[in-house]
């Protein structure tokens, strides 16, 4: 089964519900996408609304992947920088693939589609993202060409006594990347 990717789809109630259900399913399966399980759709809706406000304001673009039946099975949000000195790169947020679809290469397909979407945006030279340490997500992103460029120890508190590093990763879109400067 192949996925169909769409950048900036029309935001319908069905799409809203599909993203909300995806987000809850990913979180409840242990995915590190801004919540800790258990979570309900109602708890996710306010966060999705913040993304939608950013889309409406032209600061964020939505990438959606659907399966053959039309169900939303993957998403990523591409958020532009508003700071005048950082407009040459964007943030990739809320990267999700439905748990039932994992292990099929769809995550790599999503990351490639996100990079293609970023390349289509004028002036964008790189993608940055952060991920939660201790999940293995950094290894996945590295396998997609991202390089670790920073780490904030214990920045994410998953639960009392369970603090995780925030890992910052970068994918240059057109230039060879040699890693962060050496001191």
**pLDDT score at 9:** 98
**pLDDT score at 177:** 52
CB neighbourhood size of 168 (10 A): 18
DSSP helix/strand/coil, 26: helix
Task: Starting at the earlier edge strand, list the strands of the sheet with 60-66.
Answer: 4-7, 60-66, 72-80, 89-97, 126-132, 162-172, 147-159
**pLDDT score at 60:** 98
Q: How would you write the pLDDT of the chain (183 residues) with one tens digit per residue?
A: 799 999 999 999 999 999 999 999 999 999 999 999 999 999 999 999 999 999 999 999 999 999 999 999 999 999 999 999 999 999 999 999 999 999 999 999 999 999 999 999 999 999 999 999 999 999 999 999 999 999 999 999 999 999 999 999 999 998 655 555 555
**pLDDT score at 112:** 96
Q: Any idea where the domains of the chain sit in the sequence?
A: 4-128
**pLDDT score at 178:** 53
Tokens representing residue 14 in the block? 């069905």
User: Is the overall model pTM greater than 0.85, yes or no?
Assistant: yes
- Tell me how long the chain is: 183
- Rounded CA separation 103/109 (Å): 12
Report the run of H or E that residue 179 belongs to, with start and end: none
**pLDDT score at 176:** 54
**Regarding the domain delimited by 4-128, which CATH topology (the fold level of the hierarchy) does it fall under?**
Aminopeptidase (3.40.630)
Q: Is the peptide bond before 38 cis (omega within 30 degrees of 0)?
A: yes
DSSP helix/strand/coil, 20: helix
**pLDDT score at 174:** 83
- Rounded CA separation 118/125 (Å): 8
């Amino acid at each position: 089964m192949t996925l169909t990717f769409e950048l900036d789809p029309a935001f319908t109630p069905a799409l809203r519900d599909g993203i909300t259900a995806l987000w809850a399913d990913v979180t409840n399966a242990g995915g590190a996408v801004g919540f800790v399980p258990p979570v309900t759709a109602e708890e996710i809706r306010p966060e999705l609304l913040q993304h939608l406000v950013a889309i409406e304001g032209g600061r964020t673009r939505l990438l959606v992947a659907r399966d053959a039946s039309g169900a939303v099975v993957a998403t990523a949000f591409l958020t532009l920088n508003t700071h005048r000195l950082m407009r040459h790169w964007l943030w990739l947020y809320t990267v999700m693939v439905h748990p039932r679809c994992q292990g099929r290469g769809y995550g790599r397909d999503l990351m490639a589609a996100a990079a293609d979407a970023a390349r289509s945006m004028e002036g964008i030279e790189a993608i940055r993202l952060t991920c939660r340490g201790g999940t293995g997500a950094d290894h996945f992103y590295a396998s997609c060409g991202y390089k670790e460029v920073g780490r904030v120890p214990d920045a994410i508190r998953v639960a009392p006594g369970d603090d995780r590093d925030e890992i910052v990763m970068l994918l240059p879109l057109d230039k060879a990347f040699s890693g962060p400067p050496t001191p």
